[in-house]
Chains A and B, each alone.
Chain A
Amino acid sequence: MPASDIVGRARGRVPTGLLLVAPPVALVCWMIIWPIFSAIARTLWLPDPEGGRQLSVATYTFFFTDSYSLNNLAITLWTTGVCAAFLLPICLSIALYLRFADGKLAAYVQGLAIFPMFVPSIILSYALIRVLGPNGTVDLLLNSVGLPKINTPYLTPWGPVIGLVWDNIPITVLILLSGLGAVSDQSIEAARDVGANRRSVFWHIILPRITNSILVAISFTVLGIFSAFTLPYVLGPAAPEMMGPFMQRTFRDLNDPTTAITQAVITFCFCIAFGIFYVRSVAKNRKA
């Protein structure tokens, strides 16, 4: 069947393809694109003392001159960066192991790696307090063999990092694993035959094939972590706070929607940068 037949535009027929994509596109425009523009307009078109509205960047000036807000943005970027730095090596090694190992153990490892996907983050938060919190399970185990207690990450910036890394392992592993599916056994065997060691097989054969998957995995997890709410809310320190809890608090507790929307627009600008990575690598994939 020629492509034109699937798209359905040839010879004046009903444009089925376009009709099929119309509902999701309309939904995205209505629920996502429109709110973005309305949010930007609401933060730039502020009420003035005379009762009208005027163009002003006051809320953005406030954000970028307010050290409290900037600290919150900085901790969000720090948490995202640290989480990504931990996630990539951890998940890449798990994915490599799962790609090349088989047998019972690999099945168990796969089960364990996917498990966090089924644990709601609020339950994870309280469980982490129990395990890693003060006098938690880890402390009890250490104590029973006569070792000192750990310096608990609970209520420090490391609390959310540990939770977010664990929570994001499944999606990262799954994306990397699907990328590794494109690496054929023959190409690896061929490389081995000409004397390539493990490192050069990874570097010259595997890595070039999965760069796209790595980009997709990173942009996916980074987007999720940047806007995380529950884990930083429960496990993180009171201040600085990540953008998610900060926005929610500004909106609900301080009854200040304009400032909250400003924070959201700034957060969105960072996310769009990661989003561009994702879209570009998908587009590259299509061409290939």
Chain B
Amino acid sequence: MKRRAFMLSTGIAAAGLALLPQIASAEEGRIDWYTGSDQNVMDFWTNIIQPQFEAANPGITLNLVDAGDNAGIIAIAERATAALASGADPQSDYFENHDPRLPAGAIENGLYVNIKEAGLSNYDKINPLAIDTDYSVPYRGSQVLLAYDTTKLDPADAPKTFADLVAWIKANPGEFIYNRPDKGGSGGNFVRRAIYEVNGNDPAAFTVDNFTDESSETMLEPAWALLQDLAPSLFDGGSYTSGNTQSIQLLSQSAVTMIPAWSDQALQAISTGVLPETTGLVQLSDLGLPGGFSRSVILANGTNRDAALKLADFILTEDIQSAVLTELGGFPGVSWDYVSPELREKFADVIPASIPVFPGGDWEVAINDGWYRNVAPNVDRSQ
């Protein structure tokens, strides 16, 4: 009898413990920061921004959390929306890179801080080209370029136009690979550059609003034909890596000669020795491979909203913006006038004259699905 009573009580206690909601709350003075970006961005924040910011602002600390990917950030934003409705604590203050239009209606609901009206002392320095909405702080840019092995390809012979690139890929079968367009921006923007190529190299032809089923068919079909035509000349007769990092791994193992890569990831890989010193970088001069700016967003209902605004102002200072160039290999979110002339000179390669930015939304879905159905399977492995 005693044993049964004991089991009963422990069983109920254990069940009760398991059913108790997990209680966690934001801490005053600790900014809950989330990113969906790659590891190099996380490293940049951990090693550069966090120590400098915490030294400059005693009493404020950063809690850097990797949310995995953009969908992970959206999930946290949805949680914050629910918290906003119920007046609860969203347990998040700052998104490193996020589109404030998401989740739908977030701006109208007042989920994010209006940065333009928040009175940041450095707001005027932001490059006007980079500003997307009043609700985000563009602080770093990045663009896809071509990374190649200079021991196998003389920089003088590196392709300068998309037509040159296609000719080079066909002349050197098995030496080029790009990743699946939904699994990382380097392959995704290579595919988008191919789409520009068959549509007169006019980035203005694609906007968030001009997507229709017909327009996507007429504009995307020729690109699938172009990419299918390339497939037999790619690595292993038409293989596609499953991410930016895997492409860099293949280049570093000398399995291929050229890959499309994010400028910041490639420069960091070279500086850490993941890619050898002999890696060359080149941007197409007829129309660059697309890229874009990363924009931080601050939650209006976050416990540490004011501290988060200080952080947003801090990342626009010349020190951090120079570090974006030197340490991260991105380009600054502020106008080039606010970067030292030596740096401007030194990083002329990654300073873009213009960055084509491909719209997301329905186009993104059509490109992802279309590529998987039209380009990925039709591989003749006998070649």
Chain A: residues with CB nearer than 8 A to chain B? Answer: 8, 14, 16, 19-20, 23, 68, 71, 126, 129-130, 133-136, 152, 154-156, 233-234, 236-241, 249, 252-255
Report the contact-size class of chain B (Cβ under 8 Å from the partner).
Answer: 20 to 34
A239 close to B372 (CB less than 8 A):
yes
B372 close to A133 (CB less than 8 A):
no
Interchain CB contact (< 8 A) of B246 among A129, A254, A255: A129
Contacts known (A16-B8, A237-B239); A135 close to B372, Cβ less than 8 A:
no
- Residue in A156, A236, A255 with the greatest tally of chain B CB atoms within 10 Å: A255
Nearest to B241 among chain A residues (CB) is: A155
Interchain CB contact (< 8 A) of B15 among A16, A23, A136, A241: A23
Question: A252–B75 Cα gap in the complex (Å)?
Answer: 11
B182 close to A234 (CB less than 8 A):
no
A20 close to B240 (CB less than 8 A):
no
Interchain CB contact (< 8 A) of B365 among A14, A233, A238, A255: A255
Interchain CB contact (< 8 A) of B8 among A19, A136, A236, A240: A19
B240 close to A135 (CB less than 8 A):
no
- Provide the residues of chain A in CB contact with B236, threshold 8 Å: 134, 152, 155-156
- Residue in A14, A71, A155 with the greatest tally of chain B CB atoms within 10 Å: A155
Main secondary structure of the interface of A (DSSP, over half): loop
Contacts known (A14-B8, A16-B8, A20-B7); A135 close to B253, Cβ less than 8 A:
yes
Question: A72–B11 Cα gap in the complex (Å)?
Answer: 45
A-facing residues in B369-383 (Cβ within 8 Å)? 369, 372-373, 376-377
Nearest to A251 among chain B residues (CB) is: B71
- Which 4 pairs from chain A and chain B are nearest by CB? A134-B255, A239-B376, A155-B239, A238-B376
Question: A236–B18 Cα gap in the complex (Å)?
Answer: 39
- Provide the residues of chain A in CB contact with B255, threshold 8 Å: 133-135
Nearest to A26 among chain B residues (CB) is: B15
B372 close to A233 (CB less than 8 A):
no
A-facing residues in B135-152 (Cβ within 8 Å)? none
Question: A250–B364 Cα gap in the complex (Å)?
Answer: 13
Q: Flag whether B317 is at the interface (Cβ < 8 A).
A: no
Nearest to B255 among chain A residues (CB) is: A134
Interchain CB contact (< 8 A) of A233 among B4, B12, B19, B242: B242
Q: Flag whether B368 is at the interface (Cβ < 8 A).
A: yes
- Provide the residues of chain B in CB contact with A239, threshold 8 Å: 372, 376-377
A252 close to B71 (CB less than 8 A):
yes
Interchain CB contact (< 8 A) of A16 among B4, B18, B376: B4
Q: Flag whether B98 is at the interface (Cβ < 8 A).
A: no
- Provide the residues of chain A in CB contact with B376, threshold 8 Å: 237-239
Chain B: residues with CB nearer than 8 A to chain A? Answer: 4, 7-8, 11-12, 15, 18-19, 71, 180, 182, 235-236, 239-243, 246, 249-250, 253-255, 364-365, 368-369, 372-373, 376-377
- Provide the residues of chain B in CB contact with A237, threshold 8 Å: 239-240, 376
Interchain CB contact (< 8 A) of B372 among A16, A68, A129: A68
Main secondary structure of the interface of B (DSSP, over half): helix
A68 close to B373 (CB less than 8 A):
yes
B377 close to A240 (CB less than 8 A):
yes
A254 close to B365 (CB less than 8 A):
yes
Question: A14–B373 Cα gap in the complex (Å)?
Answer: 60
A91 CB, nearest partner CB in chain B, Å:
28
A190 CB, nearest partner CB in chain B, Å:
42
A19 close to B365 (CB less than 8 A):
no
B239 close to A253 (CB less than 8 A):
no
- Provide the residues of chain A in CB contact with B253, threshold 8 Å: 130, 133-136
- Provide the residues of chain B in CB contact with A23, threshold 8 Å: 11, 15, 18-19
Contacts known (A253-B182, A254-B365); A133 close to B7, Cβ less than 8 A:
no
Question: A253–B240 Cα gap in the complex (Å)?
Answer: 17
26 contacts between A and B (CB under 8 A): A16-B7, A16-B8, A19-B8, A20-B7, A23-B11, A23-B15, A23-B18, A133-B249, A133-B250, A133-B253, A134-B235, A134-B236, A134-B250, A134-B253, A134-B255, A155-B240, A155-B241, A236-B242, A237-B376, A238-B372, A249-B368, A252-B71, A253-B182, A253-B368, A254-B365, A254-B368
A188 CB, nearest partner CB in chain B, Å:
40
Question: A20–B13 Cα gap in the complex (Å)?
Answer: 11
Question: A19–B246 Cα gap in the complex (Å)?
Answer: 51
A228 CB, nearest partner CB in chain B, Å:
14
A234 close to B4 (CB less than 8 A):
no
